[in-house]
Chains A and B, each alone.
Chain A
Amino acid sequence: MRRATRAGGAPQRYSAASLFRHGLTHEDWERVWRTVEMRRSYDAVVIGAGVHGLATAYYLASNHGMGNVAVVDKGYVGGGGSGRNTAIIRSNYLTPEGVRFYDRSTRLYENLSATLNFNVMFARRGHLTLAHTDASVRTMRWRAEVNKLEGVESEVIGPDEVKELVPFMDTSTKTRYPILGALYHPPGGIIRHDAVNWGYARAADSLGVEIHQGTEVTGISTDRGRVTGVTTSRGAISAPVVVNCTAGWASLVATMAGVRLPIITHPLQAAVTEPVKMFLHAVVVSGSLHVYVSQTDRGELVFGASTDPYASYSMRGSLEFTEELATHVLELMPSISKMRVLRQWAGLCDITPDFSPIMGVTPVDGFLVDVGWGTYGFKAGPAAGEAMAELVATGKTPESIAAFDLARFEEARLVGERGAAAVGH
């Protein structure tokens, strides 16, 4: 096995001092990652240069010394879901295994700027999940209780405290769906998603990982139940391990290896407004009204909602999405009706039957999956990458992802996050 090596010696450090030097000398910055010829063989091929694929490759090289890894992507770094999500980080899930997993991810995110020497701008803003019915108050309390037992900060707060955190919120009882309370999760926040992708790509590259953009996987080769490599739009690669880290195309890629996944692909849309001066510090989510909103440092409101109501690979977006979104946002904050939607876009989400991911081995030896991330994949990227790297390097499924295996669907061991979905309405 080729040991991880630095591509061109130690990478250039980013810091205030280097920025200052650069400002004076105007020398070019070192390239953020290399463009190199694709080789014919690697120790592992990761499909998908999003946060999951890049984090997997990075932790393979950094934690396990496996740098002879190629990350291939049909588009560009972070061009899929990793660059299209609304960049919310939180760990206030419902099941203990979910909470532990996302807590690990949040902790990795909190230190990621220093780890990668790339400012990913993680901003701890506090995260509010509003409850408009007594059933959802109960679910919020359920989540809060599980969170606390797992050591994650969460509590149920009342409408007055919601108003204090979000002065623009209509917490009166005159609305159609009055706010009865909220799950308040102080560690939740937002991040610069592109920076995470680039930071991982740069750091992985510096440890020898090769990133091949514009390289579409067209087939996965197997021999007697073992994966042997991939064919791409730029030629074949042989590798004993292939990791499917795609979102939106997970079923199609898995099918190339003969693996059938319990996934339906739905578009998830998002929109952003024109900037205004900061007025919304917290991240606000309303499950009943199917909307989430945060304000970036640039002053834009970033909105998301539930996935489109039918399966589709279309990323064109729809008008009804923005209409429903606006309706619901204005129910929460009626005074911002004059703000304008500047841009809408869509990403693809692979939804599984239990609203939990699929990570680990498949019936094809050496073909691993890190897929089915639905609408919550970005926030899991670091922890998923860390665990997948461990699986690739050691051949053993780490405890943290054991509950999320593919076999659970055939063996009816579904994960209980669907419990939250079922009682959340």
Chain B
Amino acid sequence: MILIPCPHCGDRNSSEFTYAGEVHSRPSPGDARQGPWRDYLYGKDNPAGWTEERWFHGSGCGKYLRAERHTVTNEIRATRPEVGAGASSRTRP
């Protein structure tokens, strides 16, 4: 059971969270050509290593957060809130 350091709640079991996948930004609606749009829908980096992803703490604070996780070891080295610039991040000692 991965332990996720929620920036709002502290260390919590991953079973409290919903995995929300790689961080992809949405193409701007005015400039949506099929190629980039379909890549936004379906394309994945799917790296074997460090990746930045979103988790939703549904059984906790109800916030989305960003996590830097290693997809081979499942180690999480940092998390930060999704919303709000400059909010404190939580890094494992």
Contact = CB atoms under 8 A, between A and B. Distances in A.
Please tell me whether chains A and B touch each other in their complex, using a CB distance cut-off of 8 A: yes
B35 A319 contact: no
Contacts of A312: 71-72, 74
Contact of A264 (B34, B35, B41, B44): B44
Contacts of A403: none
A263 B44 contact: yes
A260 interface: yes
Interface in B29-74: 34-35, 38-39, 41-46, 48, 53, 71-74
Contact of B19 (A260, A310, A353): A310
Contact of A320 (B15, B44, B72): B15
B9 interface: no
Interface residues of A, number: 22
Contacts of A325: none
Given A311-B46, A312-B74, A314-B72, A410 B21 contact: no
Contacts of A410: 34-35, 38
A320 B19 contact: no
Counting chain B residues whose Cβ lies within 8 A of the other chain, the interface size class is 20 to 34
Given A319-B1, A320-B1, A410-B35, A353 B71 contact: no
Given A252-B48, A263-B46, A318-B1, A313 B38 contact: no
A313 B71 contact: yes
A353 B42 CA distance: 6
B89 interface: no
Contacts of A264: 21, 44, 46
Q: Which of B1, B18, B41, B46 has the most CB of A within 10 A?
A: B46
Main secondary structure of the interface of A (DSSP, over half): loop
Nearest to B1: A320
Q: Which of A249, A260, A310, A412 has the most CB of B within 10 A?
A: A310
A247 to B, nearest CB: 13
A264 B38 CA distance: 15
A265 B35 CA distance: 23
A251 B44 contact: yes
A387 interface: no
Nearest to A310: B19
Contacts, number: 57
Main secondary structure of the interface of B (DSSP, over half): mixed
Contacts of A412: 34, 38
A137 interface: no
A262 interface: yes
Given A252-B48, A320-B1, A412-B38, A262 B43 contact: yes
A261 interface: yes
Nearest to A348: B48
Given A314-B73, A314-B74, A409 B38 contact: yes
A251 B21 CA distance: 16
Contacts of B39: 260
Interface in A383-424: 409-410, 412
B46 A251 contact: yes
Contacts of B72: 312-314
Nearest to B46: A251
A262 B74 contact: no
Contacts of A313: 48, 71-72
Contacts of A262: 42-44
A309 interface: yes
Contacts of A311: 19, 21-22, 46, 53, 71
Interface of B: 1-2, 14-15, 18-19, 21-22, 34-35, 38-39, 41-46, 48, 53, 71-74
6 contacts: A265-B71, A311-B53, A313-B72, A353-B41, A410-B34, A410-B35
Top 8 nearest A-B pairs (CB, nearest first) are A262-B42, A310-B19, A251-B46, A409-B42, A313-B72, A313-B48, A353-B42, A410-B38
Given A265-B48, A310-B19, A412-B38, 17 more contacts: A249-B48, A252-B48, A260-B43, A263-B46, A264-B44, A264-B46, A309-B18, A309-B19, A310-B2, A311-B22, A312-B72, A313-B71, A313-B72, A318-B1, A319-B1, A409-B42, A410-B38
